[in-house]
């Protein structure tokens, strides 16, 4: 059995920087979405959600 040598493409520094920027933008957007859902949930549940009381 012979080993198959795979050739990979190495990204340039500009491509690495662009990918990092996209990753950061996606992380920020996801974080903002999570915060938005949390805030909407608190608003809809009212004060009982903050005090830990039952519905």
Average pLDDT over residues 2-26: 92
pLDDT for 24 equals 98
pLDDT, tens digit (0-9, with 9 covering 90-100), for 15-37: 999 999 999 999 999 999 999 99
pLDDT value for 53: 59
> How many other C-beta atoms lie within 10 A of the C-beta of residue 49?
13
Q: Is the pTM of this model over 0.75?
A: no
Instruction: Report how far residue 48's alpha carbon sits from residue 22's, in angstroms, rounded to the nearest whole number.
Output: 39
| Largest pairwise CA distance in the chain | 68
Report whether pLDDT(1) > 60. no
Confidence label for 42 from pLDDT (cuts 50, 70 and 90)? confident
- Opening angle at CA 25, ends 24 and 27, nearest 5: 65
11/16 Cα distance (integer angstroms): 6
SS percent in the chain: helix, strand, coil, step 5: 70, 0, 30
């Amino acid at each position: 059995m012979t080993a198959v040598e795979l050739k990979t493409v190495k990204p340039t520094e500009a491509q690495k920087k662009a990918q990092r920027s996209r990753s950061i933008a996606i992380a920020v957007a996801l974080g903002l979405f999570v915060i938005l859902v949390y805030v909407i949930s608190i608003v809809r549940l009212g004060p009982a959600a903050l005090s830990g009381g039952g519905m």
